[in-house]
């Protein structure tokens, strides 16, 4: 039996973003490759799962965090271009980074040699340092949020998204985030839900390990 086609692929979101294909699917969202027909450029469109989109509190936080993340510009941070809600979809428009996640790289190659591992962590820390200097905390540093281009350039993705999701501890989907990424969370995040720049450094240390 053939798989059901994704209902978002092929749609034109807000009359601007033509969705072309799925890039990745996770517990909280699905990321698509899309074309911004107004600027004629390829973008990544992250669409949040419906249970989150139906939570007004989440939508408000998501909008606020996305606007903040859009002000962050650094070569090692995935750029945020736009955000919005359309026909029941809550979405984030980001820089399209062709390549793989660090998790994909580790699945194929296994543990990296020390020099190569440091070559990955150094740009991650540079991106995080720029974010911390601007007052941002990532809160969810993990291999899935580190993108590696075909030329080896490193970019950190999803600034602010963890904060928007985890702000409602009663949300069942939120509990799934903690379970899914607990190996990279600092003790204070697990115990109190609070995080600052040191929490990101801790997560990066686990990433390196």
Which residues are the active-site residues? 140
Rounded to a whole number of angstroms, the CA Rg of the chain reads 17
For 150, the 3-state DSSP assignment is coil
Residue 102 phi/psi, 5° resolution? -60, -30
Q: Residue 204's closest CA among 153, 135, 132? A: 132
Please tell me the number of Cα atoms within 13 Å of 86 on its side-chain side.
Answer: 18
Sorted by sequence, the CB contacts under 8 Å of residue 37 that are 6+ apart come out as: 12, 16, 17, 18
Could you tell me the two tokens for 107? 């699945």
């Amino acid at each position: 039996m053939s798989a059901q086609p994704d209902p978002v692929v092929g749609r034109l979101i807000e009359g601007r973003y033509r969705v072309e294909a799925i890039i990745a699917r996770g517990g909280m969202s699905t990321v698509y490759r899309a074309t911004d027909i107004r600027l004629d450029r390829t973008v990544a469109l992250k669409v949040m799962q419906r249970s989150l989109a139906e939570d007004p509190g989440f939508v408000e936080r998501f909008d606020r965090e996305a606007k903040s993340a859009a002000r962050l510009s650094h070569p090692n941070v995935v750029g945020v271009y736009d955000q919005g809600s359309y026909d029941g979809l809550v979405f984030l428009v980001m820089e399209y980074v062709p390549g793989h996640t660090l998790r994909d790289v580790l699945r194929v190659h296994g543990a990296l040699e020390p020099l190569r591992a440091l070559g990955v962590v150094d740009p991650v820390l540079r991106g995080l340092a720029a974010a911390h200097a601007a007052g941002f905390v990532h809160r969810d540093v993990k291999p899935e949020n580190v993108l590696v281009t075909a030329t080896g350039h490193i970019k950190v993705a999803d600034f602010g998204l963890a904060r928007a999701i985890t702000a409602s501890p009663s949300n069942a989907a939120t509990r799934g985030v903690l379970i899914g990424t607990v190996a990279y969370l600092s003790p204070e995040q697990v115990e109190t839900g609070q995080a600052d720049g040191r929490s990101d450094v801790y997560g990066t240390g686990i990433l390196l390990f």
